Amino acid sequence: MSTLSAPIPKIYEKAADFMPLNGTDYLELYVGNAKQAAHFYKSAFGFKSLAYAGLETGVKDRESYVVVQDKIRLVLTTPLRSGTKIGQHIDRHGDGVKVIGLWVDDATRAYNEAIKRGAKSYMEPVTEKDEHGKVVRSGIYTYGETVHIFVERNDYNGIFLPGYKQWKTHYNPEPVGLKYVDHMVGNVELGKMNEWVNFYENVMGFTQILSFDDKDISTEYTALMSKVMSNGNGRIKFPINEPAEGLKKSQIDEYLEFYEGPGVQHIAVATDNIIETVTQLRDRGIEFLRVPGTYYDSLIDRVGEIDEDLEPLRELGILVDRDDEGYLLQIFTKPVNPRPTLFFEIIQRKGATSFGKGNFKALFEAIEREQELRGTL
Ligand code: FE2
């Protein structure tokens, strides 16, 4: 099954590539209740049932539900007993992203290249087979307890992975237009950003394409720094954030406190029609961060003419930013867990290849208002 195919901007073509990545294969979240989480991602986010592994497939210690929307696959996994590594992960971090699966042509080679360059092993290459063919997977650690699993599936035509069976259900709501993972952001501790930038450069062959410092991203109270890493063909983009000194506790500090360490802060998913997608998501109960209405008063002065009508953007709270190549529309959900940790970004790119720097200030002030309510600012 083919996966991600984000448009590939010209700037990436020259990047060195000893580790070719075809795209995001799947994201696995360790969660307290995979069955109910799967229902949430279906009913609220428009995913469909895809695959299942658990007692009925001979797996004794866990249950995994896989949901899909276009090229995005989420695996939701819960342990079935106490005292498991998955359970410890959930106890420490709450629900969160454990695996960022990367689709490769050769999972053994990707693993060897990474290990040779200093990666910490999570899983040596394993070949799994069933009547639909074979899949080779291998894994390395990235920040915190998060891991990258390389997935080689060119000789496989099953529903998801060997060991999974098709998850059939009569309830599959209409999709909301989410297409593929545009980028995934990691939060790391103060002083650790460059360590992980170096990891992605040296171990994974990524290139730094953007950087923001505390002068770009600061409000009256809080600041953060961010560098954006991209793989050779531009299909995988990982911004890395670290907190910067501020008057009060930043959103990154809050994340690190509640996740109890570094981890995935947000998953940005692309749509071709953000107004339609966000309308659907809101109707299904997804809550978004709101910027003040005044944001829209000067919007056209800031970003120039855009194709969309201003009124639905204002009504839904969708943000707009422009770079040299075009513009983008984006909006951020509130955290999807009880802990203020993981959230989603919905993004529509109209030429722009950047990440909405012009929105950071308005956005962070909105986040701070939420932090204030939580008493964590
Ligand atoms: Fe983002």
* Per-residue pLDDT tens digits for 91-149: 999 999 999 999 999 999 999 999 999 999 999 999 999 999 999 999 999 999 999 99
Give the domains, in start order, of the chain with CATH numbers.
10-166 (3.10.180.10), 178-374 (3.10.180.10)
The mean predicted confidence, pLDDT, of the chain is 92
Number of Cβ within a 10 Å radius of residue 350:
16
User: What's the 266 CA to ligand 1 centre distance in angstroms?
Assistant: 7
CA distances from 270 to 13, 38, 182, 328, 330 (A): 21, 20, 6, 11, 9
- pLDDT tier at 9 (50, 70, 90 boundaries)? low
User: What's the 135 CA to ligand 1 centre distance in angstroms?
Assistant: 31
128: Cβ contacts below 8 Å, ≥ 6 apart: 134, 135, 136, 137, 161, 162, 163
pLDDT digits (tens, 9 = 90+) for 249-293: 888 999 999 999 999 999 999 999 999 999 999 999 999 998 888
- Of 62-76, 221-235, 357-371, give the range with the top mean pLDDT: 62-76
User: What's the 288 CA to ligand 1 centre distance in angstroms?
Assistant: 14
User: What's the 32 CA to ligand 1 centre distance in angstroms?
Assistant: 25
User: What's the 345 CA to ligand 1 centre distance in angstroms?
Assistant: 6
User: What's the 358 CA to ligand 1 centre distance in angstroms?
Assistant: 12
- pLDDT tier at 8 (50, 70, 90 boundaries)? low
CA distances from 374 to 259, 302, 377 (A): 15, 32, 8
- What's the predicted TM-score (pTM) here? 0.93
User: What's the 239 CA to ligand 1 centre distance in angstroms?
Assistant: 8
User: What's the 371 CA to ligand 1 centre distance in angstroms?
Assistant: 19
- pLDDT tier at 366 (50, 70, 90 boundaries)? confident
User: What's the 10 CA to ligand 1 centre distance in angstroms?
Assistant: 21
User: What's the 41 CA to ligand 1 centre distance in angstroms?
Assistant: 19
What's residue 367's pLDDT? 81
CA distances from 35 to 62, 65, 108, 133, 173 (A): 11, 7, 32, 28, 16
CB 252 within 8 A of CB 241: yes
pLDDT greater than 50 at residue 14: no
CA distances from 168 to 1, 68, 71, 159 (A): 18, 13, 19, 11
pLDDT digits (tens, 9 = 90+) for 343-357: 999 999 999 998 888
